[in-house]
Amino acid sequence: MSNRFDSKEVFIERYKQEVSETYGRDFEETFPAERYQVLGKMIRDYVGINWKETKNAIRKSQSKQLYYFSMEFLMGRLLTSNLMNLGIYDLVKEGLQDLGMDLNDMEEMESDAGLGNGGLGRLAACFMDSLASLDLAGHGNCIRYRYGLFKQKIVNNEQVELPDCWLKNGNVWEVWKPHHAMQVPFGGQLDAYMDQNGKFRSNYHPEFVVRAVPYDEPIIGYHTTTTNTLRLWDAEVDEDFVQAGQLNKYLNDVMAITANVYPDDSTEEGKLLRLKQEYFFVCAGIDQIIRSHLRAYPSLDNLGEKVAIQLNDTHPVLVIPELMRVLCDDYDYEWDHAWDIVTKTVAYTNHTVMAEALEKWPQEMMRSLLPRIYMIIEEIDRRFKYEVDHKGMGHVWNNVAILKEGQVHMAHLAIVGSHSVNGVAKLHTEILIHDVMKDFADLYPGHFNNKTNGITHRRWLLYSNPQLTKLLEETIGDSFKTHPEDLEKLMEHVDDPILQQRFMDVKLERKQILADYVKKTLGIDVDVHSIFDCQAKRLHAYKRQLLNIFHVMHLYLKMKEEPSFRIYPRTFFFSAKAAPSYMLAKEIIKLINMVADKINNDPEINQYIKVVFIPNYSVSVAEILLNAADVSEQISTAGKEASGTGNMKYMMNGAITLGTLDGANVEIVERVGYENAEIFGLRVEDIEEVKKENSYNAWHIYHNNYRVRRVIDSLKNGTWSSNPDEFQLIYNDLLLRNDEFYVLADFDAYVYAQRQVEARYQDKTSWARTMLINIAQSGYFSSDRTIREYAKEIWDLHPIPFKK
Ligand code: 26V
């Protein structure tokens, strides 16, 4: 029997029956959570036909397939997106209505799948949506973490981390595939020997083996048959590998592998576990690829023609030595042949130029945990040295070596083992080529390329902002839904006063939705006619939330000092998680919350300024925050933010970028023009100059700039906290450690830019026009465009041909 329901009536009948049969009770007697479970299951079953057809079509046409290896997938909730992509949202909504239910309530029941830290994980999720929507065979490979990134609560102004038990009510989208399980070995001894043909052989006696068990989630394309797979690996015990007397330890070690998403790797302890996680999902993912390839083709010779593997940052870079191991050890390939196959198959995306974020592993740790893999890395390094010398580049060896100073440099391994290395925005790629990875770019000039990030306009415009979507449809038709570049048609209408007014009404509606959420969850009243100024992203010194809150503090102190100085009412929204061990970041969160407390409760000031810290920034929070913004704060130190993707989501919903010339901001301004953004601050060249001259002196600014001094002094003089040492880390970072991210250097320029924003906001016509221009120019930042570029220029991937 088909699982399809083509009419509301059929849906209602099936749904009632399914709920009642599943729980053995009359439909009316069942709980909302139970009804949610069954709804999810019915949709998953509904998708089954497409899933099967996609697999069949790929097999029949022998299409090339992409595997996106990522330690993180920040999927968020999927119910709305799945129903909308399937084109059955209205049918289900109305069906539920007839049953006295509200689809919104069902949507709220779903856990927000937070298997990631921030932009990198969300990018992977947007890519999945675009791949399927463009009919490309592209699958995700990751870990089924039992707990997502921690949930953040604010208690006494401080961040408190709570576990994110996203699986506690199960996961309706996943399908458990125990028969596709495999074994992943760790540690132990490797006995190497030469066989009679002089070929290297080894017998491996691992110390520890776990069973990797996949859970598959369908990734549903927009109004298309294509349904790809996100495979999440769970670790289970392998009955045959428990050593006598070690049962408990073994159980704990196995459980630990898939317990947590790493909030970053700034803690020493737990590093080994992170390396285990990396090999775990790489080894399992590669095994699956090899097995499925050999079901379709007689050998692995054509792997590079039929499979593309994209490494989302260096976390999955062990793909390179692991594939070499499989080819050489398990399938008897000669090194050079195997290397050709590997480098043809694998491509690498770099997501940061921050030195401390570039992954390195102690050689000893790698050798003892993964003896054969380490041996292969040594061989890759040895041969790479030969190549570098041979190219007459021996003098750069120390910059490019994979193994040096006792560490394995994962980015170097990734570059050497890939046919493509890409940055995630124009400026970022330039910095990679001309600065951070310069020697590699000289060695492999053709390998480096840019793929500016994107976001799925489906989730971030069509589904999370139906009010704006409707207005756009009425103005320019609906072609932008499948061709987001058609948003540009809006350019013809940006001067239309009626449209401007209707757009401002839509914005107001979104602001009201956010205001209601803030009132309900935090009890804070905000004025929807104030300027909504938003900064939402991970808390990191280089992103400079400090600059933003310093400006707020400055406004407050100035208004207190000068009763004649008043500003246009503004609400400053912040939302940010800090890594649990990142003390400076946590202190900044505390400062924001203490400033909020003080200002929001000061009757003289709180009609002009409100500060709202929204806890637990996540995909679901982003879905109501970003589209309510008037101002998008993108104020990182130039050269540090690889791309940013939040900036694109704000833009697509009309907000004006207040930003530095960093990451994809550069391309945003390129499209909207300087007159439709507010750009300020030091540029990359300026910072390079200052660094070269060694001329930056934070004390100098402190002593010579009254406004800066007033703000910094307020950290210690009881304005925000009775404890003068409360913000000592911030103080030290700025003054004793000379303000690494140029917060004080950009302060005046930022205050000035904020005044410009204020003035512009008061000219309603021009403000609305600017917002409409931002929307009109945002189509370029759809991840559909990004994925088309990857498919054409890196993967050589073509749409799956479905036979009609
Ligand atoms: C991680 C860490 C960890 C601790 C020490 C400092 C530090 C600095 C940066 C990072 C980021 C690691 C990689 C990453 O998540 N990059 C982000 O990737 C996004 C998608 O391409 C991009 O939009 C963001 O700009 C970039 O930061």
Q: What is the pLDDT of residue 200?
A: 85
Q: What residues does 159 pair with on adjacent strands?
A: 154
Place of tokens 């109501």: 624
Q: pLDDT per residue over 690-730, tens digit each?
A: 999 999 999 999 999 999 999 999 999 999 999 999 999 99
Query: Which atom of ligand 1 lies at the shortest distance from residue 122's CA?
Result: 20
Place of tokens 């049962």: 247
Q: pLDDT per residue over 257-301, tens digit each?
A: 999 998 776 566 689 999 999 999 999 999 999 999 999 999 999
Q: Whose CA is nearest to atom 7 of ligand 1?
A: 357
Helix (H, G, I), strand (E, B), or coil: what is residue 460?
Answer: helix
Q: What residues does 706 pair with on adjacent strands?
A: none
Residue 461, pLDDT above cutoff 60? yes
Whose CA is closest to 568, among 599, 596, 525, 608? 608
DSSP symbols for 676-713? GSEE-S--HHHHHHHHHHT---HHHHHHH-HHHHHHHH
- φ/ψ region of 639 (left if φ > 0, alpha if ψ in -120 to 50, else beta) reads left
On whether the CB atoms of residues 204 and 210 are closer than 8 A, the answer is no
Answer yes or no: is the C-beta of 427 below 6 A from any ligand 1 atom: no
φ, ψ for residue 726 (rounded to 5)? -50, -40
φ, ψ for residue 369 (rounded to 5)? -80, -35
DSSP element (H, E) containing 516: helix 497-522
DSSP element (H, E) containing 62: none
Which 3-state string (H, E, C) describes 622-660?
Answer: HHHHHHHCCEEEECCCCCCCCCCCHHHHHHHCCCEEEEC
DSSP symbols for 184-252? EEESSEEEEEE-TTS-EEEEEE-SEEEEEEEEEEEEE-TTSS-EEEEEEEEEE--GGGPPTT-HHHHHH
Burial of 453: CB neighbours in 10 Å, binned 0-12, 13-18, 19+ = buried
Answer yes or no: is the C-beta of 663 below 6 A from any ligand 1 atom: yes
- On the CB side of 579, CA atoms within 13 Å amount to 16
Q: Ligand 1, from 354, 432, 538, 640: best to mutate by most atoms within 8 Å of Cβ?
A: 354
Q: What is the pLDDT of residue 197?
A: 86
- On the CB side of 121, CA atoms within 13 Å amount to 24
Query: pLDDT category, 241, cuts 50, 70, 90?
Result: confident
Q: Please give the Cα distance from 411 to 355 (Å, whole number).
A: 11
Domains assigned to the chain: 62-76+112-449 (3.40.50.2000), 457-682+742-786 (3.40.50.2000)
Q: Please give the Cα distance from 665 to 676 (Å, whole number).
A: 12
Q: Please give the Cα distance from 566 to 549 (Å, whole number).
A: 18
Query: pLDDT category, 6, cuts 50, 70, 90?
Result: confident
Q: How far is the CA of 370 from the centre of ligand 1 (A)?
A: 27
Output the CA–CA distances (angstroms, integers) from residue 644 to 265, 651, 771, in the order listed.
Answer: 21, 12, 19
Answer yes or no: is the C-beta of 758 below 6 A from any ligand 1 atom: no
Q: What six digits make up the tokens of 372?
A: 């054969």
Residue 133, pLDDT above cutoff 80? yes
Q: What six digits make up the tokens of 650?
A: 């704000």
On whether the CB atoms of residues 725 and 564 are closer than 8 A, the answer is no
Residue 244, pLDDT above cutoff 80? no
Residue 633, pLDDT above cutoff 90? yes
Q: Mind telling me the catalytic residues?
A: 351, 537-538, 543, 645, 649
Whose CA is closest to 654, among 500, 784, 763? 500
In total, the chain counts a number of residues equal to 804
Range 209-235 average pLDDT:
98
Answer yes or no: is the C-beta of 352 below 6 A from any ligand 1 atom: yes
Range 745-766 average pLDDT:
98
Q: What is the pLDDT of residue 268?
A: 62
Q: Whose CA is nearest to atom 8 of ligand 1?
A: 357
Q: What residues does 68 pair with on adjacent strands?
A: 140, 310
On whether the CB atoms of residues 397 and 416 are closer than 8 A, the answer is no
Q: Please give the Cα distance from 514 to 512 (Å, whole number).
A: 5
Residue 609 identity:
I
Q: pLDDT per residue over 316-335, tens digit each?
A: 999 999 999 999 999 999 99
Q: Ligand 1, from 72, 267, 351: best to mutate by most atoms within 8 Å of Cβ?
A: 351
Answer yes or no: is the C-beta of 740 below 6 A from any ligand 1 atom: no
Answer yes or no: is the C-beta of 266 below 6 A from any ligand 1 atom: yes
Residue 804, pLDDT above cutoff 90? no
Burial of 633: CB neighbours in 10 Å, binned 0-12, 13-18, 19+ = buried
Query: pLDDT category, 538, cuts 50, 70, 90?
Result: very high
Q: How far is the CA of 373 from the centre of ligand 1 (A)?
A: 27
Query: pLDDT category, 1, cuts 50, 70, 90?
Result: very low
Q: How far is the CA of 35 from the centre of ligand 1 (A)?
A: 39
Q: What is the pLDDT of residue 644?
A: 98
Helix (H, G, I), strand (E, B), or coil: what is residue 526?
Answer: coil
**Residue % of the chain over a pLDDT of 90:** 95
Cα 68 to chain centroid distance, Å, stands at 13
Q: Ligand 1, from 71, 72, 120, 312: best to mutate by most atoms within 8 Å of Cβ?
A: 120
Q: Please give the Cα distance from 103 to 94 (Å, whole number).
A: 9
Residue 558, pLDDT above cutoff 60? yes
Q: What six digits make up the tokens of 584?
A: 């400076």
Q: How far is the CA of 568 from the centre of ligand 1 (A)?
A: 35
Mean of the per-residue pLDDT values of the chain: 97
Diameter over CA atoms, the chain? 92
Q: How far is the CA of 56 from the centre of ligand 1 (A)?
A: 38
Helix (H, G, I), strand (E, B), or coil: what is residue 64?
Answer: coil
The string over 741-761, giving b where at least 16 C-beta atoms fall within 10 Å of a residue's C-beta and e elsewhere, is bbbbbbbeebbebbeebbebb
Q: Please give the Cα distance from 636 to 687 (Å, whole number).
A: 13
Q: Please give the Cα distance from 757 to 751 (Å, whole number).
A: 10
Q: pLDDT per residue over 645-680, tens digit each?
A: 999 999 999 999 999 999 999 999 999 999 999 999
Q: How far is the CA of 645 from the centre of ligand 1 (A)?
A: 11
Cβ neighbours for 90, distance < 8 A, ≥ 6 positions apart: none
Q: What is the pLDDT of residue 242?
A: 82
Q: What six digits make up the tokens of 623?
A: 């879905």
Q: What six digits make up the tokens of 350?
A: 């770099």
Q: pLDDT per residue over 47-92, tens digit each?
A: 999 999 999 999 999 999 999 999 999 999 999 999 999 999 999 9
